[in-house]
Amino acid sequence: MALLAMLALWPAFKLGLGPANELRVRFPQVGWALQGRVTFGVGEGAPEQRDLTPADLAQVLGDGIPEGQQEVRIPLPREATWAEVTLLKFQDRSVEQVTWFPPRGPVLSGPGVRPLAFELRDNGDGSRTLRVAKLRPGFWNVDLADVFFGVATWAFFWLLLEARWGRGRVAAFARRQAGWVPYALPPLVSWVAWWLVFFPGVISYDPLVQWGQLQSGQLEDWHPAFHSGWLWLIGGPFGSLAPVGAVQAVLFAAVLGKVLEELGAWKVPAWARWVVVAWATLSPAWGSNVIAAWKDAPFTLVCLVTLLLLLRAERRQGLRVVDAAWLGVCLTCITLLRHNGPMLSSPLLLVCLWRYGDRRARGTLVSVTVLLTVLVRGPGYAIAGVSPPPPVLKQVLTVHRLGAAAKDPELPPEDARILSELMPLEQWRNRYACLSVGPLVFGSPLKTKQMEGRGLELAGMLWRFAKRHPDVLLDQQVCVTRYVWSPESELYIGPFNGGGNTVDPNTVGVRPQTWFAPAQPFYEHAIFDSYGQHGLLRTLVWQPALSLYLFVVGLAVVLWRQRSLGPLLVVLSALLNTFSWLALSPNPDLRFLFPTVVMSPLLLAWALAPRLRTEAAEAKDGARDAPPAAGDRVAAA
- If one compares 135 and 84, the residue with the highest pLDDT of the two is 84
Q: Is the dihedral of CA 357, 360, 364, 367 positive or negative?
A: positive
- If one compares 108 and 203, the residue with the highest pLDDT of the two is 203
Order of strands, sheet of 36-42, starting from the edge strand that comes earlier in the sequence: 48-51, 36-42, 80-87, 128-132, 119-122
369: confidence class by pLDDT, cuts 50, 70, 90? very high
Asked whether the predicted pLDDT for residue 618 surpasses 80, the reply is no
Asked whether the predicted pLDDT for residue 633 surpasses 80, the reply is no
109: confidence class by pLDDT, cuts 50, 70, 90? low
Please report whether residue 340 resides in a domain: no
Q: Are 203 and 292 in contact (CB under 8 A)?
A: yes
Asked whether the predicted pLDDT for residue 280 surpasses 60, the reply is yes
Q: Is the dihedral of CA 356, 357, 360, 364 positive or negative?
A: positive
E strand segments, 391-444? none
Q: Mean pLDDT throughout 96-114? A: 77
- The parent domain of residue 35 ranges over 2-132
- Stretch among 265-269, 406-410, 621-625, 630-634 having the lowest mean pLDDT: 630-634
33: confidence class by pLDDT, cuts 50, 70, 90? confident
Q: Are strands 119-122 and 128-132 parallel, antiparallel or unpaired?
A: antiparallel
Q: Return the DSSP state at 116.
A: P
What pLDDT shows up at residue 620?
54
Q: Can you tell me the distance from the alpha carbon of 140 to that of 113, in angstroms, rounded to the nearest whole number?
A: 15
What pLDDT shows up at residue 627?
61
Please report whether residue 445 resides in a domain: yes
Q: Phi and psi (nearest 5°) for 481?
A: -110, 10
Please report whether residue 83 resides in a domain: yes
Please report whether residue 198 resides in a domain: no
Q: Are 546 and 487 in contact (CB under 8 A)?
A: yes
Using a pLDDT cut of 90, give the percent of the chain over it. 62
DSSP line for 131-149 = EES--SS-TT--BHHHHHH
Q: Phi and psi (nearest 5°) for 24?
A: -100, 120
Tell which phi-psi region holds residue 291, choosing left (phi > 0), alpha (psi between -120 and 50) or beta. Answer: alpha
Torsion angle of the four alpha carbons 492, 496, 498, 504, in this order, in degrees rounded to the nearest 10: 110
The model's pLDDT over 412-463, given as tens digits with 9 standing for 90+, comes to: 888 899 899 999 999 999 999 999 999 998 888 988 888 888 888 888 888 9
Q: Can you tell me the distance from the alpha carbon of 58 to that of 613, in angstroms, rounded to the nearest whole number?
A: 63
Asked whether the predicted pLDDT for residue 83 surpasses 60, the reply is yes
**Burial readout 447-484 (b: 16 or more C-beta within 10 A, e: otherwise):** ebeebeebeeebeebbeebeeebeebeeebbebbbbbb
Please report whether residue 14 resides in a domain: yes
Asked whether the predicted pLDDT for residue 609 surpasses 90, the reply is yes
Residues pairing with 141 in the sheet = none
What pLDDT shows up at residue 602?
97
Please report whether residue 499 resides in a domain: no
What pLDDT shows up at residue 197?
93
The model's pLDDT over 294-330, given as tens digits with 9 standing for 90+, comes to: 999 999 999 999 999 999 999 999 999 999 999 999 9
Asked whether the predicted pLDDT for residue 534 surpasses 60, the reply is yes
What pLDDT shows up at residue 637?
45
What pLDDT shows up at residue 75?
92
Reported pTM: 0.90
Q: How many CB atoms lie within 10 A of CB 273?
A: 20
Q: Are strands 69-76 and 80-87 parallel, antiparallel or unpaired?
A: unpaired
What pLDDT shows up at residue 622?
57
Q: How many CB atoms lie within 10 A of CB 47?
A: 11
Given 132, 160, 192, the domain boundary residue is 132
Given 480, 500, 520, the domain boundary residue is 480
Q: Mean pLDDT throughout 551-577? A: 95
Q: Mean pLDDT throughout 40-47? A: 86
Asked whether the predicted pLDDT for residue 31 surpasses 50, the reply is yes
Largest Cα span, the chain: 120
Q: Return the DSSP state at 495.
A: -
Please report whether residue 395 resides in a domain: yes
Q: Mean pLDDT throughout 111-136? A: 87
3-state secondary structure 566-578: HHHHHCHHHHHHH
Asked whether the predicted pLDDT for residue 626 surpasses 90, the reply is no
Please report whether residue 568 resides in a domain: no
Q: What mean pLDDT is reported for the chain?
A: 89
What's the number of domains the chain is made of? 2
If you count them, how many residues does the chain have?
Answer: 637
Asked whether the predicted pLDDT for residue 245 surpasses 80, the reply is yes
Q: Mean pLDDT throughout 136-141? A: 70
E strand segments, 204-330? none
> Residue 127: helix, strand or coil by DSSP?
coil
Q: Can you tell me the distance from the alpha carbon of 494 to that of 465, in angstroms, rounded to the nearest whole number?
A: 34
What pLDDT shows up at residue 634?
46
Given 132, 150, 166, the domain boundary residue is 132
